[in-house]
C-alpha cells in the first residue's frame, strides 16, 4: 500500500522532470543525466542482487564493461540497430553470468564476492591483452547507436532511450519482491533454513538474481558506451564495482528509488563539486557521508525517506489496527 | 491416503548414535504423536524424513516412492513440509509474505513470467493469495496480515509458521514442538487449529512434542522413542498408560 502510494507520486514526478530535462539542460548536463540514467539501470541490477537476494557482488562494473565493449564492437563491425544490439548484449551478459554462476553460486557471502572480484580482474586482463579487439589500455572509440531513420548521433535520442530503459527496469525491479521468486530471494536472504524447508532452490534463485543484475549492467554498458563516445578498461575495474556497491547501499539497497539516489551520488554529486571547483573536497566529504549513512541509516537514504513518509501518513488521526 | 514408511533408519553423528534401526509405517490422514524424553531422537527422525539429516542407513518411502536420495526441496514439492522448534521466519517481511512463502512448492510459471506478471502467473498468484487468506483465517492471524513479523510476540510467530507450513496443503506435515513456548490459552488454540486442519485436509500430521497433554488432546496414535529406539506404539491413550513408557518418560514417577 505504501509502495503503491510512493510509486504513484514518484513515478509521474520522475517522468515530468525527465521530459522537461532536455529543454532545461545544456549539452553537458544532458550528457550527465543520460550517464546517470545508465547507472540507474546497473544499480537496479545490484538492488535485486544485493538488496533482494542478499548476494554481495564485486563484479557489477565488469558486466557494465562487457556491455560497453560488446556495444562498441557490435555497432562498429556488424552495424546492428539498437534493439538488436541490446538483445545481443543481453544474451552475452546472461550467458557469461550463467557460466560464472556455476562456480560462484556454490559459495555465498564473502567467498561469492571474491569469485566475482576474480572475474572482474580476469576481464581487466582480457581487455588489456586482446588489443586487436578491445584496443588494449587505450580502449575504443564507440560509434553512435544505429536507430534506422532516427538520428542515433543526437544526444536527445540517447537520453530518451536511457530514460525509457531506466523506467522499464524500475518497474520490473519494483514488481519482483512481490513475486514467487522475489519471496524466494527474501527467504535466502533472511532465513536459509526456512527457504530450504519450503522447497526454495537457493541456487536457482541466486542464478535469477545474478543473471538479472548482469543483464541490467550490460544494458547500462551499452548506454555508457554510446553516451561517452570512448571506453577504456579502467572504467570497469574493481574500484568502479566498489563504488557501485557503495552507491546502492548509500541510496538504499531495498528500494528501487535507492538505485536512483545511488546514481545521483555516483554521477551528479561529483560533477557538482567539479563545477564549483572543489574536486578534492568531494572525496573526503563522500567518505564522511558514507560513514554517517552506514552507521546511522543502515537502510540507506531511500529507507529514511520511506520511513518519514510512512510516519507522516500514519500520524494525522489515523489508527492502525 | 498417504503412507510414510521408515525402514531401518539409523542416524549417527560421529560416535553418537542418535537413531538406531527405526522401522514403522504411518498412514494418513491421521494425527500422529512422536514423544520421548530429551535426546530420544525425535527431532532427528523428523529431520531424516524431511531431508535435513541424511541417515547412515535405511530408507524413507512416501507412497512407495523411495525419497531417501531426494534433496529437501524435492521432498517439499512431494508434499513433505516441516516446522522448526524456534519459528524460522522472514522478520523484515509481513505476515502475508511469510505465509505466501509456504506456496513455493506449488508448481507455477517460471521466474521470467513472474517478473513480467503474465496472465498465467497472475492466476497462480491469485490462487496463492486465496490459500493464504484461508489459512490465516483458520490459524487466526488474519488481523495481522500486513504487520511486519519482527513486531509480533513469540506465540504469534509460532502461528505464522504453522500457517506457512499449512498453506500449500501438504500431504505430510511435520511439526517440531509446536507448543513450545506457548501458554495454556495458546496451547488450546493450537489444538483447535490442528483439529480444524485435520477435519479439512487429508493430512498425515506428525507432531513431535514434549508436552504430553497436547499429544493426548490431538493425536490418535503415538510412537514413543527413547535413546534412539522405538520403545512403544499404539493408540495414544493406551501408549500413555504403558508401564515402560511411564518408566522411560517420567522416570517411574506417576503422571497425572
pLDDT in tens, B145-160: 999 999 999 889 999 9
List the single residue in A with minimal CA-CA distance to B128: A180
Q: Is the pLDDT of residue A316 over 70?
A: no
- Greater confidence (A107 vs A183) lies with A183
Condensed to tens digits (0 to 9), the pLDDT of residues B174-226 reads: 999 999 889 999 999 999 999 998 888 888 999 998 888 899 999 999 999 98
Condensed to tens digits (0 to 9), the pLDDT of residues B35-77 reads: 988 888 899 999 999 999 999 999 999 998 999 889 998 999 8
List the single residue in B with minimal CA-CA distance to A168: B116
For residue A320, is it within any domain? Answer: no
The shortest CB-CB distance from A208 to any of B97, B102, B111 is to: B111
Phi, psi torsion values for A217, nearest 5 degrees? -65, -40
pLDDT band at A6 (very low <50, low <70, confident <90, very high): low
For residue A247, is it within any domain? Answer: yes
Close Cβ partners of A278 (under 8 Å, ≥ 6 residues apart) = none
For residues A22-28, average pLDDT: 73
The shortest CB-CB distance from A191 to any of B89, B108, B117 is to: B89
Could you report the predicted ipTM of this complex, rounded to two decimals? 0.87
B52 in A contact zone (CB under 8 Å): yes
Domain count, chain A: 1
Q: Which of A180, A187, A213, A253 to mutate to test the interface with B (most CBs of B within 10 A)?
A: A180
Residue A315's pLDDT is 54
For residue A179, is it within any domain? Answer: yes
Residue A8's pLDDT is 67
C-beta atoms of A179 and B111 within 8 A: yes
Which residues in chain B are closer than 8 Å to A200, comparing Cβ atoms? Answer: 73, 101, 104
Q: Is the pLDDT of residue A24 over 90?
A: no
Which residues in chain B are closer than 8 Å to A321, comparing Cβ atoms? Answer: 143
For residues A74-95, average pLDDT: 93
Are B74 and B145 in contact by the 8 Å Cβ rule? The answer is no
C-beta atoms of B102 and A201 within 8 A: no
List the single residue in A with minimal CA-CA distance to B109: A180
Q: 109-148 in A: which are within 8 Å (CB) of B?
A: none
Q: 160-199 in A: which are within 8 Å (CB) of B?
A: 172, 175-176, 179-184, 186-187, 190-191, 193-194, 196-199
Instruction: Look at residues B82, B87, B83 and name the one whose alpha carbon lies nearest to residue B154.
Output: B87
C-beta atoms of B111 and A180 within 8 A: yes
Q: Is the four-CA dihedral B193, B198, B199, B201 of positive or negative sign?
A: positive
Question: Which residues partner with B208 through β-bridges?
Answer: B34, B176
Phi, psi torsion values for A254, nearest 5 degrees? -95, 5
Residue A321's pLDDT is 36
For residues B102-112, average pLDDT: 91
CATH number, domain of A52, equals 1.10.3470
For residues A137-157, average pLDDT: 83
3-state secondary structure of B9: strand
The shortest CB-CB distance from B73 to any of A180, A183, A196 is to: A196
Owner of C-alpha cell 522401522: B23
C-beta atoms of B117 and A193 within 8 A: no
Q: Is the pLDDT of residue A146 over 70?
A: yes
Are A218 and A91 in contact by the 8 Å Cβ rule? The answer is no
Q: What is the pTM of this model?
A: 0.89
Which residues in chain A are closer than 8 Å to B121, comparing Cβ atoms? Answer: 179-180
Q: How far is A170 from chain B (nearest CA, A)?
A: 12
Locate B122 and state its grid cell: 497472475
Instruction: Look at residues A196, A188, A248 and name the one whose alpha carbon lies nearest to residue A42.
Output: A248
C-beta atoms of A182 and B81 within 8 A: no
What share of chain B has pLDDT > 90, as a percent? 60
Residue A272's pLDDT is 85
List the single residue in A with minimal CA-CA distance to B90: A190
pLDDT band at A313 (very low <50, low <70, confident <90, very high): low
- Greater confidence (A124 vs A18) lies with A124
The shortest CB-CB distance from B82 to any of A197, A204, A212 is to: A197
For residue A319, is it within any domain? Answer: no
3-state secondary structure of A100: helix
Q: 86-125 in B: which are within 8 Å (CB) of A?
A: 88-93, 97, 100-105, 108, 111, 114-117, 121, 124-125
What angle in degrees, to the nearest 10, is found between the helix axes of A180-190 and B119-139?
50
- Greater confidence (A103 vs A65) lies with A65
C-beta atoms of B101 and A175 within 8 A: no
Q: What's the half-sphere exposure (Cβ side, CA atoms, 13 Å) at B133?
A: 6
Residue B212's pLDDT is 86
pLDDT band at B256 (very low <50, low <70, confident <90, very high): very low
Condensed to tens digits (0 to 9), the pLDDT of residues B120-173 reads: 999 999 999 999 999 999 999 999 999 999 999 988 999 999 999 999 899 999
- Greater confidence (B179 vs B253) lies with B179
Parent domain of A188: 2-314
Condensed to tens digits (0 to 9), the pLDDT of residues A214-261 reads: 999 999 999 999 999 999 999 999 999 999 999 999 999 999 999 999
The secondary structure of A110-179 as a DSSP string is: HHHHHHHHHHHHHHHHHHHH-HHHH-GGG-EE-PPP-BTTB-TT-HHHHHHHHHHHHHHHHHHHHHGGGS
3-state secondary structure of A252: coil
B76 in A contact zone (CB under 8 Å): yes
Residue B245's pLDDT is 78
CATH of domain B1-79+170-256: 3.40.50.300
Instruction: Look at residues B5, B180, B172 and name the one whose alpha carbon lies nearest to residue B84.
Output: B180
CA distances to A209, A238, A296 from A60, in Å: 12, 9, 26
Q: 200-239 in B: which are within 8 Å (CB) of A?
A: none
Residue B255's pLDDT is 45
Residue B235's pLDDT is 92
Owner of C-alpha cell 588489456: A128
Q: How far is A129 from chain B (nearest CA, A)?
A: 36
C-beta atoms of B84 and A1 within 8 A: no
Residue A5's pLDDT is 62
Q: Is the pLDDT of residue A286 over 50?
A: yes
Q: How far is A208 from chain B (nearest CA, A)?
A: 7
Residue A163's pLDDT is 93
Are A77 and A140 in contact by the 8 Å Cβ rule? The answer is no
Q: Is the peptide bond before B197 cis (omega within 30 degrees of 0)?
A: no
Query: Rounded to the nearest 10 degrees, how much is the dihedral formed by the CA atoms of A120, A126, A128, A129?
Result: 160
Instruction: Look at residues B225, B221, B136, B218 and name the one whose alpha carbon lies nearest to residue B179.
Output: B218
What share of chain A has pLDDT > 90, as a percent? 55
Which region among A14-23, A49-58, A303-312 has the lowest average model confidence (pLDDT)? A14-23
Which residues in chain B are closer than 8 Å to A179, comparing Cβ atoms? Answer: 111, 114-115, 117, 121, 125
Average pLDDT over chain B reads 89
Q: What is the DSSP letter of A106?
A: T
What share of chain A has pLDDT > 70, as a percent? 90
Average pLDDT over chain A reads 87
Close Cβ partners of A53 (under 8 Å, ≥ 6 residues apart) = A185, A188, A189, A205, A206, A209
Residue A205's pLDDT is 94
Residue A147's pLDDT is 81
pLDDT band at A7 (very low <50, low <70, confident <90, very high): low
C-beta atoms of A198 and B89 within 8 A: no
Q: How far is A272 from chain B (nearest CA, A)?
A: 36
Q: How far apart are the first and last CA of chain A?
A: 15
Instruction: Look at residues A65, A84, A64 and name the one whose alpha carbon lies nearest to residue A74.
Output: A84
Domain range summary for chain B, segments of one domain joined by +: 1-79+170-256, 89-168
Give the per-residue SS3 of A263-306: HHHHHHHHHHHHHCCCHHHHHHHHHHHHHHHHHHCCCHHHHHHH
Distance from C-alpha of B50 to C-alpha of A20, rounded to nearest angstrom: 58
Condensed to tens digits (0 to 9), the pLDDT of residues A32-44 reads: 999 999 999 999 9
Q: Which of B101, B107, B146, B172 to mutate to test the interface with A (most CBs of A within 10 A)?
A: B101
Which residues in chain A are closer than 8 Å to B89, comparing Cβ atoms? Answer: 191, 194
- Greater confidence (A174 vs A299) lies with A174
Amino acid at each position: 500500500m505504501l509502495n503503491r502510494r510512493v510509486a504513484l507520486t514518484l513515478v509521474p514526478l520522475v517522468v515530468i522532470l525527465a521530459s522537461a530535462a532536455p529543454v532545461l539542460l545544456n549539452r553537458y548536463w544532458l550528457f550527465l543525466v543520460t550517464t546517470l540514467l545508465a547507472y540507474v539501470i546497473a544499480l537496479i541490477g545490484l538492488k535485486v542482487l544485493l538488496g533482494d537476494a542478499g548476494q554481495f557482488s564485486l563484479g557489477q562494473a565488469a558486466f557494465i564493461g562487457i556491455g560497453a565493449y560488446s556495444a562498441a564492437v557490435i555497432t562498429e563491425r556488424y552495424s546492428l540497430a539498437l534493439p538488436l544490439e541490446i538483445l545481443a548484449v543481453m544474451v552475452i551478459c546472461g550467458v557469461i553470468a550463467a557460466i560464472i554462476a556455476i562456480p560462484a553460486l556454490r559459495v555465498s557471502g564473502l567467498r561469492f564476492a571474491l569469485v566475482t572480484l576474480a572475474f572482474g580482474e580476469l576481464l581487466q586482463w582480457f581487455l588489456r591483452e586482446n588489443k586487436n579487439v578491445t584496443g588494449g589500455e587505450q580502449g575504443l572509440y564507440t560509434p553512435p547507436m544505429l536507430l534506422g531513420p532516427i538520428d542515433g548521433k543526437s544526444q536527445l535520442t540517447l537520453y530518451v532511450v536511457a530514460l525509457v530503459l531506466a523506467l522499464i527496469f524500475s518497474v520490473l525491479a519494483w514488481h519482483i519482491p512481490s513475486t514467487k521468486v522475489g519471496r524466494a530471494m527474501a527467504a535466502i536472504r533472511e532465513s536459509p533454513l526456512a527457504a530450504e524447508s519450503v522447497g526454495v532452490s537457493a541456487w536457482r534463485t541466486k542464478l535469477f538474481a545474478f543473471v538479472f543484475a548482469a543483464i541490467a549492467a550490460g544494458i547500462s554498458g551499452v548506454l555508457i558506451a554510446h553516451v561517452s563516445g570512448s571506453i577504456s578498461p579502467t572504467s570497469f575495474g574493481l574500484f568502479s564495482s566498489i563504488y557501485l556497491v557503495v552507491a546502492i547501499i548509500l541510496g538504499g539497497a531495498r528500494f528501487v528509488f535507492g538505485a536512483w539516489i545511488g546514481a545521483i551520488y555516483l554521477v551528479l554529486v561529483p560533477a557538482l563539486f567539479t563545477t564549483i571547483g572543489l574536486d578534492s573536497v568531494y572525496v573526503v566529504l563522500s567518505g564522511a557521508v558514507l560513514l554517517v549513512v552506514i552507521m546511522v541509516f543502515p537502510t540507506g537514504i531511500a529507507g529514511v525517506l520511506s520511513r518519514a513518509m510512512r510516519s507522516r501518513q500514519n500520524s494525522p488521526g489515523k489508527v492502525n489496527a | 491416503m498417504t503412507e510414510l514408511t521408515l525402514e531401518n533408519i539409523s542416524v549417527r553423528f560421529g560416535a553418537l548414535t542418535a537413531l538406531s534401526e527405526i522401522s514403522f509405517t504411518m498412514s494418513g490422514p491421521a494425527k500422529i504423536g512422536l514423544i520421548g524424553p530429551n535426546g530420544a531422537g525425535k527431532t532427528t527422525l523428523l529431520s531424516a524424513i524431511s531431508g535435513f539429516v541424511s541417515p547412515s542407513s535405511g530408507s524413507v518411502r512416501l507412497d512407495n516412492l523411495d525419497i531417501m536420495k531426494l534433496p529437501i526441496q524435492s521432498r517439499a514439492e512431494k508434499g513433505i513440509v516441516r516446522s522448526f522448534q524456534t519459528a524460522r521466519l522472514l522478520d523484515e517481511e509481513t505476515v502475508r509474505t511469510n505465509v505466501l512463502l509456504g506456496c513455493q512448492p506449488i508448481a507455477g510459471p517460471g521466474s521470467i513470467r513472474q517478473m513480467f506478471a503474465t496472465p498465467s502467473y497472475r492466476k497462480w498468484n491469485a490462487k496463492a493469495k486465496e490459500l493464504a487468506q484461508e489459512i490465516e483465517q483458520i490459524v487466526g492471524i488474519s488481523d495481522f496480515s500486513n504487520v511486519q513479523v519482527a513486531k509480533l510476540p513469540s506465540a504469534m510467530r509460532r502461528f505464522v509458521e504453522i500457517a506457512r507450513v499449512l498453506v500449500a496443503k501438504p500431504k505430510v506435515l511435520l511439526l517440531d514442538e509446536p507448543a513450545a513456548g506457548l501458554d495454556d490459552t495458546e496451547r488450546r488454540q493450537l489444538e483447535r487449529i490442528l483439529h480444524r486442519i485435520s477435519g479439512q485436509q487429508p493430512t498425515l500430521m506428525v507432531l513431535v512434542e514434549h508436552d504430553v497433554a497436547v499429544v493426548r488432546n490431538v493425536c490418535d496414535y503415538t510412537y514413543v522413542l527413547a535413546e534412539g529406539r522405538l520403545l512403544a506404539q499404539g493408540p495414544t491413550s493406551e501408549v500413555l498408560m504403558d508401564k515402560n513408557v511411564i518408566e522411560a518418560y517420567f522416570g517411574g514417577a506417576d503422571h497425572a
